[in-house]
Amino acid sequence: MIVCTDGGQDTVQPGEPRGGCKKRLSLYAEHKAYQAATADPKSPNYIKKISAGPMVNDEDTMMRGSAFVVQVSSREEAETFYKNDPFYVNKVWESVICNRYTVVGGTLPSL
């Protein structure tokens, strides 16, 4: 599991469908393109994502960060994935926590 928290919350501005910090919004298209490329099984940068999306405020109007549940064979693979994201490269994410995640209730979907 990778949990990324945005910095720059003092520069939050509206956006569609959600707002966020100015730097996040300026790099959003680049981030989405990277995420799409890493979701393609034919890509050398492919990573199996169980779940991925923005963390938002209680009103669901502002993005505050990103979260990913990925299936990887090593921590290095997970770190390579997030460290190549434009949000990491351009310091949108103020902090990143990368931890192993174990399912104790329910099941992971087969993708």
Mean pLDDT: which of 8-22, 28-42, 50-64, 96-110 is highest?
28-42
Closest CA to 7 of 92, 89, 82, 97: 92
Arithmetic mean of pLDDT, 62-86: 96
Q: Return all residues near 11 (Cβ < 8 A) that are at least 6 apart.
A: 21, 22, 23
Task: Give the pLDDT confidence score for residue 108 in this predicted structure.
Answer: 63
Q: What average pLDDT is seen over the chain?
A: 90
Q: What is the pTM of this model?
A: 0.87
Q: What is the share, in percent, of the chain residues with pLDDT greater than 90? A: 68
Q: Distance between CA atoms of 36 and 38, rounded to whole angstroms?
A: 5
pLDDT band (50, 70, 90) for residue 14: confident
